[in-house]
Structure 1
Amino acid sequence: MKVAIIGSALSGNKGAAAMLESAVQQLSGRDPEARFLLLSMYPRSDAEQNEYPNMTVRDASPLRLGLLLNSAALLHCVLPPLRRLIENSVPEIKALATADVLLDQGGITFVDGRGKFLIYNVASILPALFVGTPVVKCAQAMGPFRTPVNRLAAKALLPRMAAIVSRGAVTHEHLLGLGLTNVTAGADLAFTLEVTEQDAAAVREAVDMSFFDDGEVVGVSPSAVLRKSAEAAGGDYVGEVRRMIDHLTQDLGKKVLLVAHSARAHTEKTHNNDLPLCREIYAGVASPERVLFPDDELSSQGLRYLIGRCDVFVASRFHAMVSSLAMGVPTLVIGWSHKYREVLDMFGLAEWAVGHDAYTDEVFAERIAELLATQDDVREQLRTALPLVKAKALEQVDVIERVARS
């Protein structure tokens, strides 16, 4: 089985890395001969971080994807005599044309109000359609589809997918509302990510784990995406998270793990990178001695191991939430989209989602106090629901295999 993957990466957003590596782990477990092609938006750093001998990284950086790969794939479709020349000139097209399936692992696609991302959502799947490779949209958030441009794009392209896996009830209803018949209800494949002793050992070598030896630790994962929207509305997101941490350390006597769940080392660019934000937050906290901030790009498995050492977690990055839930850690979510709540719904824990538009210091103090007081009950609820969620996530592997082998 030859599997092409787009929309995820090893570097940057570690949620995307978790989805990518979960797919490689699960499909390799079923087919030891499976080979993977990652069409990467960060080809150089992904190639450096790639430790999978059965995965090749190719250049699908946004400009190259939008202009060269889409154009070459279109020519491949309409000019059959030139196909061999095109494949030899653009190796990504040859690799895609010979793949059994393309996995689109965009975490959130075809959503109203995200116009510039819609272009990437479309550009990611068109080349496969042009060269005749079936596309499976792995579990992700989609919709609503009310705005004309988004609805037009969704109705034109989503019926052409070999299969679509929704990532929760809200997304599922949005997709059914388009009249689609190729939709399967699922859960995020990242719930199946395996953390090995080797992963844990690498973290123990890089991070002072004695921080977790005594006293309750609350993990906090801020988001550069939320910062952008908050500051566009005139808010002070850095100050907001600092006050959150100060309340935990000074008022409640807790320790705090500050997590950059999207991280790109050696750059100050903020796209898919929370490290600059976390540095700014950490520089102004009142009790830095009670805050652990690993200022580095850790692997998705390493981050999951660290998050699992927390007693309670506060997540604004989606896959930081997935990791905390997967590790059975009671979680308060401060988010911006239906994609958070629909996952919490799978655990019967939607009450622990707070929309950032409703967030205040007082709301945080109230909700974190409630979570700390009821954490044992919440932890038991997570323990009970997690096997069912993982099983639901694994069902999409059956879908992928069926499409690839057909």
Structure 2
Amino acid sequence: MKKIAMIGSALSGNKGAAAMLESAMQTLGEKYPDAQFTLLAMYPQQDKEQNTYKNLTILRGDSFYLGAVINSWALLYRLLPGARNFIKKRSPEVKALAEADVLLDQGGITFVDGREVFLIYNVATILPALNVKTPVAKCAQALGPFKNPINRMAANIFLPKMARIVSRGAITHAHLEGLGLKNVTEGADYAFCLEVTDAEEKAATKKFDMNFFKNGNVVGVSPSVVLRKKVDKHRGPGAYAKETAEFVDYLTKEKGYKVLLIPHSYRSAETQLQHNNDAPLCRDIYAQVSGQEKCQLLDVELGSQELRCIIGKCDLFIASRFHAMVSSLAMQVPTLVIGWSHKYREVLEMFGLEKWAFGHDKLQHEYLKTRFAELEEEQKTVRAQLTKKLPKVKKKSYNQVDVIQSVLER
């Protein structure tokens, strides 16, 4: 029986993280039917409430507890061999890591210049496993560039210690090759492996009225609180929500579309916390939309597969949340991407569709109208390109299953 620990993914909150987790469980479960999974969770209580998998154990892994407690116990585990049984009894997280055959690091973006504020967390997620001598496989994610001296030093110290690293696209792969790493495999986001069944579609229909997709074309819009922070920093508070609401009105009033606002990261409706939570932002946007009769807010928490079913029913899509983009591409929906990192572009490059991404610095009403009009005009060509390229991208995504299996079989 294989024991597989995971960190950086989730069931609640960011549904991209959920898609990566469930993709790993699906694909590795096919290879190892008796595999047992353990997740060190950022939101352990919420994840426990949503956990329907009998072979998945949820343990605490929030930032403070991970950094201060788990890392301390793991360091003592390494330094005091005679106390290891005691440490396992006191720390179920260290016990799970020590007994795991591999730790899957599913952080979507790590060791990146400009995100040095997250560097301690990037290290804290992998250091306990290294201290208990459990191999770490970094699932497909964006890494680099490494020009910042602090980030480059950390990358040079820790990335060579990974059993394997899967890059998520050509740009990340080039960054990693620039460090001279030999433990890198080129791949694609794990969420491209996520399979959606009739059961998920039926579950989605119980939470959302699919009649919305009848009698008129629908544009899905997935905003992002990360993008909002970047836009509002330069253009003033509320600029991002106002710009998005105005464009929704343009789509409904001038173009005749229906619009579905989709928070792809969603936490409990009772919380206004915005980390890994696009729902408050989407509510703000919806409140500013004047044509609400043709706009609907998906204000309910769905699973990653249920969300993918709904996204797949849209005729066109505008994505700022990364894994909403992955789902729209996987469902072959022509997509316009407003991003803030190379991670968007390198995925679109796999489909030959990188021209449909632009940075948040260009988020102006007239420019957005122009780019959307271009997507409208070329949507048949874009959809054909998605259909042509998707099997190859899925295969590249599935390659990391073989990479993980090679670590498990050592």
Q: Within 5 Å, which residues of 2 pair with 1:148-159?
A: 148-159=149-160
Q: Which amino acid aligns with 1:305?
A: C
SS at match of 1:245: helix
Superimposed CA distance per residue, residues 21-69 of structure 1 (whole angstroms, 9 cap, x where no aligned partner): 0000110011111110001011000011011111100001111100000
Following superposition, which runs of at least 4 residues in structure 1 exceed 2 angstroms of deviation? none
Contact 2:16 2:304 in 1 (8 A): yes
2:92 is the counterpart of 1:91: yes
Aligned mates of 1:83, 1:170 — CA distance in 2: 42
Aligned mates of 2:12, 2:119 — CA distance in 1: 22
Aligned mates of 1:218, 1:94 — CA distance in 2: 47
Aligned mates of 2:41, 2:117 — CA distance in 1: 18
Q: Which amino acid aligns with 1:238?
A: A
SS at match of 1:233: helix
Question: Which of 308, 313, 324 does residue 328 from structure 2 map onto?
Answer: 324
2:290 is the counterpart of 1:286: yes
| Superposed displacement of residue 231, structure 1 | 1.4
Question: Which of 244, 257, 260 does residue 263 from structure 2 map onto?
Answer: 260
Aligned mates of 1:294, 1:353 — CA distance in 2: 24
Give the structure 2 partner of residue 352 of structure 1: 356
Q: Within 5 Å, which residues of 2 pair with 1:339-378?
A: 339-378=343-382
Give the structure 2 partner of residue 118 of structure 1: 119
| Superposed displacement of residue 114, structure 1 | 0.8
Aligned mates of 1:347, 1:286 — CA distance in 2: 36
| Superposed displacement of residue 234, structure 1 | 2.9
| Superposed displacement of residue 297, structure 1 | 1.2
CA RMSD of superposed structures (Å): 0.7
Gaps of 5+ in 1: none
Give the structure 1 partner of residue 249 of structure 2: 246
Gaps of 5+ in 2: none
Give the structure 1 partner of residue 139 of structure 2: 138
Superimposed CA distance per residue, residues 179-218 of structure 1 (whole angstroms, 9 cap, x where no aligned partner): 1000000000100111121211111111111110111100
Aligned mates of 1:289, 1:362 — CA distance in 2: 24
Aligned mates of 1:104, 1:15 — CA distance in 2: 14
TM normalised by structure 1 equals: 0.99
Aligned mates of 1:320, 1:388 — CA distance in 2: 20
> Identity over aligned residues, as a percent?
60
Superimposed CA distance per residue, residues 297-316 of structure 1 (whole angstroms, 9 cap, x where no aligned partner): 11111110000000000000
Aligned residues: 406
Give the structure 1 partner of residue 403 of structure 2: 399
Superimposed CA distance per residue, residues 78-129 of structure 1 (whole angstroms, 9 cap, x where no aligned partner): 1101111111100110111000000000000000111221111100000000
Q: Which amino acid aligns with 2:271?
A: T
Aligned mates of 2:363, 2:292 — CA distance in 1: 24
Aligned mates of 1:258, 1:318 — CA distance in 2: 15
Aligned mates of 2:42, 2:207 — CA distance in 1: 27
Aligned mates of 2:200, 2:267 — CA distance in 1: 19
Aligned mates of 2:65, 2:212 — CA distance in 1: 44
Q: Which amino acid aligns with 2:221?
A: V
Shifted more, 326-335 versus 350-359: the winner is 350-359
Give the structure 2 partner of residue 32 of structure 1: 33
Aligned mates of 1:271, 1:283 — CA distance in 2: 21
Q: Which amino acid aligns with 2:151?
A: N
TM normalised by structure 2 equals: 0.98
SS at match of 2:195: coil
Q: Which amino acid aligns with 2:294?
A: R
| Superposed displacement of residue 373, structure 1 | 1.2
2:190 is the counterpart of 1:186: no
Q: Which amino acid aligns with 1:250?
A: K
Superimposed CA distance per residue, residues 233-289 of structure 1 (whole angstroms, 9 cap, x where no aligned partner): 234111011011111111111110110000001211000000000001001102101
SS at match of 2:228: helix
Give the structure 2 partner of residue 3 of structure 1: 4
Q: Which amino acid aligns with 2:212?
A: F
Contact 2:230 2:360 in 1 (8 A): no
